[in-house]
Structure 1
Amino acid sequence: MSSFKALFGPSREKIWRQLSSEVGGQFHEGGLLTQSAVQARADDWIITLDTFTQHAGNSHQTYTRLRAPYFNPESFRFEIYRAGMFSGLGKALGMEDIEVGHARFDRDFVIKSNAPRRVRRLFDNRKIRHLIDAQPKIHLSVKGHDGLFGKFPAGVDELHFRSTGTIKDLAQLRTLFDLFAEVLQQVCHEGKAYEDDIRIHIRRLRAPGGRIKDKYVLWEGDGPRRDAAAALGRLGDPAAVPALASVLGDEDPLLAARAIEALARIQDRKAAGPLIRLLGDMREADGARVGDRVADALRKLGEGELVDIVVGAFGGEFGRLKAYDGEYRAQVIEALGDALEGVSGTHAANALAEINAVEALPRLREVLRSTGARNPTGQAISSAIKALEARAALPRAAAAADVDIDTLPRSAQESL
């Protein structure tokens, strides 16, 4: 056995397990139908090392690859390989040959991109050039995942490396992981330390959520978005309010909760309208109802009186709601519409009828179709629809602009 090891060297499994330990990753042991793999996190990204085999007739070729999905809304593409290795693969993607301004690097590598200025900034990073130069074989590119067989959410692409054969050189593999971490930091954050950069956190917040799993998890988008929302709250910049408001209705209730907390910390009045819409939100996040979190945030924004009015309507008290003529009527109606499918559904339907909210008719009909009219809430919704339809059918007073001046009444003494 010792002579066998001396001839072929350490096994891939042994080397890859050691690599996993060094990069703080996880080793996935292969089976009959799966290859072993190493995964490690670098900030928001998951880097995966494995092998795959391509078959052509009776022959086959094994490749080592690294891949890391990342948010790429600008569809930035690049491809780099050593001169003489490949033909012009990138031309079909609308990419052109680029010189990045470093003579030896331009001589030794072919670089293609659809964004010349951006790829020059990427390869102006000395560490990236050094890590690429250390690879005896390299084909590094951004692969899109659009179309019928795309695995990833819209806007997510994959940083992809491949090389023929199975790489078992520990130093080379460690260098590849370092290269991926540096390139991802550069293309996503322009190399900046992003702890206090509001623009980067807004970008992170706008990335897709969800979780993509192949043989193992390849992409987890919710965690970085939650972290970004919390960071924006910590930074306290009102410029983040629109971005935070845009995720309040996200499918991930924990992200909504982090955004609500952030808006409460920023304390900008522009957040009130988007928050009021969610007073009827019944989702649970970290043991608390989203609507209750919204109520707390609105009180911090000085809207405690309006919170009491809407919460009172959820409990069947409509007097103050009927008297309300403030700027947030549309948002209050949306909050009542959200509450139709919760425990306060009956009161919410009655409240909409009480304030003559004919604009809520589409929402009322939608809920009635899904719940039916047999239970108390359904009956209240049905009654509200009838009342509001009757009101909507009433003739409306003509606007002054629609009235001919000659038809207006005159005093008896006025001359014709």
Structure 2
Amino acid sequence: MSTVSGDISIRTFERRRWLFPSAVIHELDPGPGPAGRRPRRTARDWFVDFSCFLLAILLGAIAAKTVWHDPNVSHGLAVTDQLVGGLACAAVWLRRRWPMGLAIAMIPVSLVSDTAGGTAMVALFTVVVHRPFRYVAWIVGANLLATPFFYWLRPDPDLPYLAVVALVTLFILLVTSLALFVRSKRQLMISLRDRARRAETEAGLRAERAQRLAREAIAREMHDVLAHRLTLLSVHAGALEFRPDAPQAEIARAAGVIRESAHEALQDLREIIGVLRAADGDEAAGRPQPTLAGLDALVSESRQAGMKVTLDNHVGDPAAVPASVGRTAYRIAQEGLTNARKHAPGAEVGVRVTGAPGDGLDITVHNPAPEAEAPHVPGSGQGLIGLTERATLAGGRLEHRATGDGGFEVRAWLPWAAA
């Protein structure tokens, strides 16, 4: 069931609450009342109870007329029959509080009072609607077994024995069928309400999941795009802090890198926010995402920042690589260079890219052991985890390990389907 249909059913329930039985309302909306307390009767409950009372009186009056004109029944027995039947009709108002007790009591009472037959049918109807089937089977079976015994003790003056037994049995089965229909309708109503509640819950969970995925996308893009720029800022700012006596040209070059990196970081941040504010799937918003063709510019930028980087690119036409695969490869190389700059400053970093359609794309970023102890650069420690997730989502794999020479290597394989 959709959320819209669930909302409609809930609004309908709230508008027409007075039309539902109190038992159904209590099942659908228990409310803050104490547990175990009987629900208050609705306007519908009062109408139904009064109708059942009138029905019991009507059926009792018809039976009383038959008893009064039966020549086989004495005057005293007829009066007793009517008195017992009147008390039974008054007991109809107890059917909601003690349905089983009333139904059980009506079985022997109906054997001695024909006028109480209407109350017995009302009690039977109530048990079938409200009680489990094991109780229903006992009550219905007891009424069916008592019918031939009753008309054997007090035969009908107008109809043969088998005919009247068959008619009364058919009437009992008709009342039972009608009660089962009402019961199934109530259960269907409760089931639809439950489905509406589940639909609301599932919609809320889907919304929470979408928000969580959006936050993860923001965090991933922030890390992939800004970590590279901000690492440049941190490294060069740290160099200026620890070498205030550096030559003027070197200080000017470092300050230029800091200014340019800060400008690029702000520009990237604006573009990320613009893309995330755009509609889902709208890849045309903002600047085009980097692909494998932008790897040369990334390496050139790292070299300008003072890194020693060698690029070994064996992909003849980077533009032929699918955009999603190329973008993932670019992010892997970017994160590898960022980590090498933070943890192995001064070391020569090698980036190797090979692959062909049908074979996949291999990316390797390796750096040897650092020449000196690296200054502390704060980080989240989630970069490689995010890259592994990116590669897995693209259908590939990523591995990272420390090498025997004290360095570090990131190796990834991404699928590249044949043309």
Q: TM-score, normalization: structure 2?
A: 0.24
Higher RCO (CA < 8 A, seq sep 6+): 2
Indicate the structure with greater strand content.
Answer: 1
| Structure (1 or 2) with the larger CA radius of gyration | 2
Q: TM-score, normalization: structure 1?
A: 0.24
